[in-house]
Amino acid sequence: MSEYEYDLFTIGAGSGGVRASRIAAAHGAKVAIAEEYRLGGTCVIRGCVPKKMLVYASMFADDLSHPENYGWTIGEKSFDWPTLRDFVQKDVTRLEGLYGNTLESHEVDTFSERAVVTGPNSVKLASGREITARNILIATGGRPHMPDFPGAEHCLSSNEIFHVEDKPKCLMVAGGGYIAMEFAAIFNALGSEVTVVNRTDRILRAYDEQIVDRMLHIAMGRGIDFRMHSLIESVEKLDDGRLEVDLGDANKVTVDQVLIAAGRTPNTEGLGLDNAGIELGKKGEIPVDEYNRTSCPSIYAVGDVTDRVALTPVAIREGHAFADTVFGDNPRTVNYDAIPSAVFSQPPLAGVGLTETEARKQYGNVKVYSSDFRPMKNIFNPHAERGLYKMVVEEVSEKILGIHMIGPESPEIMQVAAVAVKAGLTKQAFDDTIALHPSMAEELVLLK
């Protein structure tokens, strides 16, 4: 008999933890997993999945604003936030059930309670039970970072915004990252008056500056108010329930809700990692090697808790690689080059590889090919919004270093374009490909 109750005990049932657990079980390991909240983690329960559903609803709202151009005559229109909110949460519950079914079908024991590390090979559940395991995997993800200022308790994070009773008539969003931009676009399209507050003059720092500038121009044209070089100093709740926000200038701003989207923090607080001799990094992250192993040989970590690349597909790859390495006799690592990403703003933007600025710093001389065009779909829209595609290539070889775009369906197009960057193709490969007409994607093979 084994000296341990389990071969693997996973703490955290998000995308990375569930993938690692089921693959390890498929390799023949005896596996258990603990989750203190809901199966599915941030992405499924209170992140990219429900947020994308809200994006679709807000896109419909935009199309509904000009039905006559499509030949439709529509009568009285009204929007009911609770109906949308509850529909989204119903599907989240459905997905949570699928995650549970996956774990059950792979004979993974699930504990619906908090677990903490008590040693290199042991964890303790909130119920008091102590369990031993040959290996422990930490996959607890991250949580929203909430700044400390007077009245911060009156503000929402991205966890709570999905559950508000009513759609705010006036919403302030603090932050300049993708979460801030996506929620600002969602509620703007749904009819809220939206103000974005950012402490610098740059938003979406990981994306190409020219693409971001185009997004800013379009967002402002749609009515979003951007307050750059601004910082919330305090929030006071008024007698009528509204919030008065002090930005440090003469005029205070009164809104219905304040959403703080100022980054995320690795979820390591109180996990007991010091009991296994694991020291955290400066941001609270768990340092790991290329095989996801911590400084304690029996404990591993994957996903956002390691603060490498905080994307769901990356956590899934890391979890799979971990299980194959430890339990499948197939050592594997994750390659973090050319990872595509997107911001589901309106319109969405997407990118893969080096931005133009990054490429010039790294390679010196580069060539930039671009297409600045009005998507056919936007002909119906009274807003004269233009798309922009960019391809950055090495000057001599014309190897593609990065592709960046903004326009309808950009994330869908980017997924395929990312294959070309990952494969190390040159622009000539795009030039040799006949266009699929009429489409927006054809602009990629017509870049000048």
**Looking at the annotation, which residues are catalytic?**
437
Beta bridge partners of 226: 196
Beta bridge partners of 136: 9, 299
Taking the C-alpha atoms of residue 172 and residue 183, their distance in angstroms, rounded to an integer, is 10
The two tokens of residue 254 are 């009164």
Q: SS3 of 302, please?
A: coil
Q: Are 393 and 399 in contact (CB under 8 A)?
A: yes
Q: How many CB atoms are closer than 10 A to CB 39?
A: 23
- Residue whose tokens read 């992250």: 285
Taking the C-alpha atoms of residue 374 and residue 46, their distance in angstroms, rounded to an integer, is 34
Taking the C-alpha atoms of residue 282 and residue 260, their distance in angstroms, rounded to an integer, is 22
Cis-peptide into 50, omega within 30 deg: no
Give the DSSP per-residue string, 429-446.
Answer: HHHTSPP-SS-SGGGGGS
Taking the C-alpha atoms of residue 102 and residue 110, their distance in angstroms, rounded to an integer, is 11
Phi, psi (degrees; rounded to nearest 5) at 24: -60, -45
3-state DSSP helix/strand/coil percent for the chain, to nearest 5? 35, 25, 40
By the 10 Å C-beta count (0-12 exposed, 13-18 middle, 19+ buried), 75 is classed as exposed
Inter-CA distances, 173 with 185, 191, 307, 384, Å: 10, 15, 24, 26
The secondary element (H helix, E strand) that includes residue 389 is strand 387-394
Residues with Cβ within 8 Å of 296's Cβ and at least 6 positions away in sequence, in order, are: 120, 276, 277, 278
